[in-house]
Amino acid sequence: MKVAKEWSRATAVFDDENLVSCAGLVPVMALAERAGLSELIRDKVAIRTSRVKSAGVNPAGKLTSIIAGMAAGADSIDDLEVIRSGGMPRLFGGVYASATLGQFLREFTHGHAQQLASVARAHLVALTRHSDVLPGLQERAFVDIDSLLRPVYGHAKQGASFGFTKIAGKVVLRRGLSPLVTTLSTPAGAPLITGVRLRAGKAGSGKGAASMVREAIRAARAAGATGEVLVRGDAAYGSSDVVHACLAEQARFSVVLTKNAAVERAIASIPDDAWMPVRYPGAVVDPDTGELISDAEVAEVTFTAFGSTKRPVTARLVVRRVRDRAKTAELFPVWRHHPFFTNSTEPTTAADLTHRQHAIVETVLSDLIDGPLAHLPSGSFPANHAWAICAAITHNLLRAAGTLAGPRHAVARGATLRRQVVNVPARLARPQRRGWLHLPAHWPWASHWLALWDKVFSTGPPLPA
């Protein structure tokens, strides 16, 4: 594909006030308002005093502007200028400059960030009522928790410190900030974010996890999770506080336990005939023997965890073992054991499969890194905390919009939704004082875009010009 000859010497001028580059923001932000985003912000977020006069006024308009910019692909404060380009001020009221939005974020304190976090949870609940974003929520729901370390640079970043992260399978020390994220998903639905809490880079992965789990379970119940809620986490969250938080909220847990002498004794007590093969999705079967090529096996034993504390818990210790291929020359097979602690009622192999699906939270983290959390743009720690919460609201909003667009987009990545649904160019026109959006002909995802438009505005697709 090459440029046509007659356009090789064309003149390019950015001067059209009737063009917009992200017409998909119209139905997306209309969905946000239908779910009551502005009303929730007005009710819950209040900046009484500000260091700069008028910087804290109209938090609803400024926060929705930030969320709209993130939905269009902004990953820094300067990128929020995208919502002021072309005819965007004609489509939306209360469009703010990026400098104003950055100044507003710097007025945030820890308390204001907590207020915004409650807005995010309430808006998630409202989105579940305006779209089928979590199908099957009434029967079973999964709450997953994990953290990540976002690198930051410069000496002006509040809270930045050195912490450990894993890159390409290797543990490295990096300077950054560490968001803790909880998600809510169902067996048939892609995950939404129930909470984001920004912490210093040196914070342990499990710091604040118990309170985050409690908030996530309550949000799931408020959204309609009347059945089983299962909380899943890796070894950083296999603590007494997290397990008791699950029990207090009447939720089940499935968390990895750090190996210690008691866990090793429990694993050694499992008889040899108790191990059974487990078939993972995509497992390969030997065509000659009909057996799985994978040698993974699972078994379980009753185990009392946290025995040294005042609140021990007795449940199932499910163990997956895999042959250590680095030690095949040994006389007897050497196994690597991976235990997790659960009070799930599923059979052993099903419990193992369900627990391993905890990795779905990694898709959410990668979406955030590939989107608004590519940077933590401010030097102020509370401002970055508010930015991270806005990223969570944006993620949930795009997920709900994708669900309304159709099954193809219901499980699409954030980058896909921005490219195919949000960042659609359009020319604005008002013949006979009736608004028209002239979108590109032959747009590959036009039917999905119009389905979203129809379901948000309930007016049907626009008539042909």
Residue 465 has pLDDT above 50, yes or no: no
Q: Tokens standing for 309?
A: 């504390």
The reply to whether 424 falls in a domain is no
Q: Percent of the chain having pLDDT more than 90?
A: 77
Closest CA to 403 of 122, 42, 137: 137
Total residues belonging to the chain: 465
In contact, 218 and 226? CB cutoff 8 Å: no
Encoding tokens for residue 360? 């779905």
Rg (CA), the chain: 25
pLDDT of residue 442: 94
Q: Is the pLDDT of residue 204 over 80?
A: yes
Strand, coil or helix: 246: helix
Phi (first) and psi of residue 337, to 5 degrees: -105, 140
Task: For residue 117, give both structure tokens.
Answer: 């976090």
pLDDT digits (tens, 9 = 90+) for 10-25: 888 888 899 999 999 9
Burial class (CB in 10 A: 0-12, 13-18, 19+), 158: middle
Average pLDDT over all residues of the chain = 91
What is the domain count for the chain? Answer: 1
The sign of the torsion formed by the CA atoms of 68, 69, 73, 74 equals negative
pLDDT at 347: 95
- The secondary structure element, H or E, covering residue 459 is none
Phi, psi dihedral angles at 71 (to 5 degrees)? -65, -30
DSSP secondary structure letters along 366-380: HHHHTTGGG----SS
Alpha-carbon separation of residue 40 from 35, 120, 126, 304 (angstroms): 9, 9, 10, 44
Q: Given this model, what pLDDT does residue 165 score?
A: 84
Whether 10 maps to a domain, the answer reads no
In which band, very low, low, confident or very high, does the pLDDT at 289 lie, cut at 50, 70 and 90? low
Contact (Cβ atoms closer than 8 angstroms) between residue 176 and residue 151: yes
Q: What pLDDT sits at residue 60? A: 95
CA atoms 364, 369, 370, 372: torsion sign: positive
User: Is the confidence at residue 167, as pLDDT, over 90?
Assistant: no
Q: In what order do the strands lie in the sheet with 19-20?
A: 19-20, 426-429, 436-438
For 422, the enclosing helix (H) or strand (E) is none
Structure tokens at 343: 């009070």
Share of the chain above pLDDT 70, in %: 94
Q: What is the DSSP letter of 292?
A: B
Token pair 């954030």 is at which residue? 414
Q: Which residues pair with 147 in a beta bridge?
A: 180
The answer on pLDDT for 295 being more than 80 is no
Q: What is the pLDDT of residues 211-244, one digit of tens each?
A: 999 999 999 999 999 999 999 999 999 999 999 9
Q: Residue 432 pLDDT more than 60?
A: yes
Q: Is 438 exposed, middle or buried (0-12, 13-18, 19+ CB in 10 A)?
A: middle
Q: How far is CA 24 from CA 177, 284, 309, 462, in A?
A: 32, 42, 54, 14
- Average of pLDDT values for 122-130? 96
Helix axes 59-71, 37-44, angle to 10 degrees: 140
Query: What is residue 182's three-state secondary structure?
Result: strand
Within-domain flag for 54: yes
Model confidence at 284, in pLDDT bands (50, 70, 90)? Answer: low
- Mean pLDDT for the stretch of residues 112-121: 97
The top-scoring range by mean pLDDT among 49-58, 122-131, 275-284 is 122-131
Say if CB 158 and CB 381 are below 8 A apart.
Answer: yes
In a domain, 254, yes or no: yes
Would residue 440 count as lying in a domain?
Answer: no
CA atoms within 13 A on the CB side of 93: 5
* pLDDT at 303 exceeding the cut of 50: yes
Q: How far is the C-alpha of 448 from the C-alpha of 427, rounded, in Å?
A: 19
User: Structure tokens of 416?
Assistant: 């896909």
In this structure, what CATH number is given to the domain that contains residue 304? 3.90.350.10
pLDDT for the residue 139: 94
Tens digits of residue pLDDT in 305-352: 998 889 999 999 999 998 776 666 666 777 888 999 999 999 999 999
Integer Cα distance of 443 and 463 in angstroms: 16
Residue 307: inside a domain, yes or no?
yes
Both structure tokens of 424: 């659609």
C-alpha triplet 399, 185, 149: angle, nearest 5°: 80
Confidence of residue 281 (pLDDT cuts 50, 70, 90): low
Q: Which domain holds residue 291?
A: 25-417
> Quick one: average pLDDT of 401-408?
95
Query: How far is the C-alpha of 417 from the C-alpha of 415, rounded, in Å?
Result: 5
378 lies in a domain?
yes
- In this prediction, residue 326 carries a pLDDT of 64
**Domain contains 218:** yes
